[in-house]
Amino acid sequence: MLQTALQEIETAAELKKIISENENVMVCCGRMGPMCIPVYEAMEELEEDREDVKFFTMAFDSPEANIIREDPSCLGFMGLPFTMYYKKGEVAHATSSIQSMEKIKAVLNDKFGK
């Protein structure tokens, strides 16, 4: 399990249910490493301000995370974390590696509105 204040998704079925029941979802699939922790911290802060978005983590090394690791949007990704943005049950955007608060906010605003 990841040690963050965010809710963690444990199964592919749970992820499918979450993205089908929520209009805007951001999932950070990673480890407790130096490239992932800043993204988790940004998400924890944004969770307070963006009530229109549901924020989750998923452990990259879990077999259940294949649903993200093998998504066509992630082909060619080399660095962790893999971050997925879902809009109305579909992948709206995907990024990899460390991201600044400004970059995350820009994606949220572009894909989910301000």
How many domains is the chain partitioned into structurally?
1
Structure tokens at 33: 């490493």
| pTM over the 0.75 mark | yes
DSSP letter (8 states) at residue 23: S
Is 40 contained in some domain? Answer: yes
Burial readout 15-26 (b: 16 or more C-beta within 10 A, e: otherwise):
beebbeebebbb
- State the pLDDT at residue 87: 98
- State the pLDDT at residue 1: 85
Is 43 contained in some domain? Answer: yes
Is 1 contained in some domain? Answer: no
Is 53 contained in some domain? Answer: yes
CATH number (domain holding residue 85): 3.40.30.10
Is 59 contained in some domain? Answer: yes
At residue 95, what is the residue type? Answer: T
Structure tokens at 104: 């995350």
Domain range for 24: 7-109
Cα-based torsion angle of the residue sequence 15, 17, 21, 26 in order, rounded to the nearest 10 degrees:
0
104 Cβ neighbours under 8 A, 6+ residues apart: 26, 39, 42, 43, 46, 83
- State the pLDDT at residue 114: 80
Is 51 contained in some domain? Answer: yes
Is 66 contained in some domain? Answer: yes
Is 114 contained in some domain? Answer: no
Low pLDDT (below 70) residues in the chain: none
Q: Give CA–CA dist 114/109, Å, rounded.
A: 5
